[in-house]
Amino acid sequence: MSSSPDIETGRRKLAWARAHMPVHAELRRRYGETRPFAGLTIAVCSHIEAKTGVFVETLAAAGAEVVFTGSEPGSSQDDVVAALNAQDGISGYAERGVSEERLLELHLAALEHGPDLILDDAAELTACLVHRRPELLQGLRGMCEQTTTGVQRMQAMAREGAVKFPAYAVNDTPMKHEFDNIHGTGESSLTNLLLTTNLLLAGKQVVVAGYGDCGQGIAHKARALGAQVTVTEIEPRQALRAHMAGFRVTAMAEAAAWGEIFITTTGNREVIRAEHFERMRDGALLANAGHFNVEIDARALAEMAVAREEVRPGIEAFRLNDGRELHLVAEGRLVNLATPTAMGHPVEVMDQTFAMQFMAALHLYQHADELTPGVHAVPDLVDRQVAEIKLQTLGIGIDALTESQQRFLDTWRVEEIKG
């Protein structure tokens, strides 16, 4: 953590994000007077940077007492944290570059506020509540989960009977994952990787591990910038999709030998490990875009290394005993959020993602009595509502079904279809 975070810089970052988040401006206009969250304490666990800050401000404008904390050790920004903490109705516990132990302390401090709702990333705060402060669970009305890994963790918790409250899988809505995971991760992973390395992507051999939403975004955008892209997968249908999209598909053991840049985005662990490091070219770059820093086995890399050195801010070189150097970006943490200059997803994308979190939280709160404990899909009408606001802010008009078109779609009798 920097010793005296510059509040003014944090305020300017918030102002820039606010000015480019029209969906949030609309949410403040709609809910700033009615204040539907009045009387509630809402905990936000996420990457605490400017867009997340605007989300926090918008929840506070809608009446909530907001407490925030970081979802990842390397992604929060101290100046934004300071600027948020100076605002009424908002308090938070987040620091940049903390140890896992300190991150836990910050989470426990946030939970002391006894949140009614948790708006979580990777289920970090919820898991902490369930495992470490179960006595506070009775006050929790529900949670909303922002990312793929968090939905998987919530489902695993539910299988063990540990989810005694309703949870909305916000990641799984079209308005979240078809934009944030694909376009957000696609653009911001490459932008931040290129800024951190100052290297050219065109012509490079790029290996993308995982062809899910994030992997598809990264693979297509890397190819658009001229890279030769190879995809690795464990799921046969995803592998075929990558093949039909024109990518080379192979196992990591083979790709390891020719890749120049590796980007993991599987939500899984040890996807690149010792047997792959053994085969890599001198100078290979290793970056991760999945939530946890376990996709690249950095521990094995450290054990194999005879020397290690920070060769640029955010890039560590591991020298192996045969003289090759492998370059690990941001300790294998989220490449779009944890490199020294990283800023996360583009503003417009997070405007949409956090609008989904906001509207899902409102729906969950207003329907908490009807929802059973467990992980639920967010109702489609909530997704559609955010899409309509987004289109309105873009000034895009679309057609509406005529009555005759609606009847056509609703019938199966050929005489009615053909009129």
Q: Summarize the annotated binding site for NAD(+) as residue ranges.
A: 147-149, 212-217, 233, 289-291, 336, 345
C-alpha radius of gyration, the chain, whole number: 22
Confirm or reject binding of residue 213 to ligand NAD (CB under 6 A).
yes
For 43-80, b/e burial (b = at least 16 CB within 10 A) is bbbbbbbbbbbbbbbbbbbbbbbbbbbbbbbbbbbbbb
Map residues 386-415 to x or -, x wherever contact with ligand NAD holds by CB under 6 A. Answer: ------------------------------
49 binds ligand RBV (CB under 6 A): yes
Stretch that binds ligand NAD, among 128-136, 209-217, 296-304, 369-377 (CB under 6 A): 209-217
Burial (0-12, 13-18, 19+ Cβ within 10 Å), 418 = exposed
Q: Does 74 bind ligand NAD (CB under 6 A)?
A: no
Of 13, 17, 43, 52, the one binding ligand RBV by CB under 6 A: 52
Structure tokens at 351: 């405007």
173 contributes a contact to ligand RBV by CB under 6 A: no
Measured in degrees and rounded to the nearest 5, phi and psi for residue 320 equal -95, 165
6: its two tokens:
């510059």
> Rule CB under 6 A: is residue 122 a binding residue for ligand RBV?
yes
In the chain the first and final C-alpha atoms are separated, in Å, by 70
Stretch that binds ligand RBV, among 32-40, 153-161, 343-351, 366-374 (CB under 6 A): 343-351
Q: Give the separation between CA 5 and CA 117, rounded to whole angstroms.
A: 29
The alpha carbon of 197 is separated from its chain's Cα centroid by a whole number of angstroms, namely: 22
Q: Which member of 78, 124, 145, 180 binds ligand RBV (CB under 6 A)?
A: 180
Return the C-alpha torsion angle 26, 141, 344, 239, nearest 10: -110
| One residue of 5, 74, 290, 332 binding ligand NAD per CB under 6 A | 290
Number of residues that bind ligand RBV (CB under 6 A): 16
Distances (CA, A) of 182 to 175, 276, 313: 11, 27, 27
Which residue is it, tokens 């009798």? 413
Please state the closest distance from residue 346 (CB atom) to ligand NAD, in A: 11
Residue 209 makes contact with ligand NAD by CB under 6 A: yes
Q: Which of 58, 75, 149, 339 binds ligand NAD (CB under 6 A)?
A: 149
Q: Which of 13, 96, 333, 345 binds ligand RBV (CB under 6 A)?
A: 345
Asked if 348 is part of the footprint of ligand NAD (rule: CB under 6 A), the reply reads no
Site string for ligand NAD, 101-140 (x = CB under 6 A): ----------------------------------------
Helices (H) and strands (E) counted in the chain, each on its own, are 18, 15
Q: Which stretch binds ligand RBV (CB under 6 A): 204-212, 240-248, 252-260, 345-353?
A: 345-353
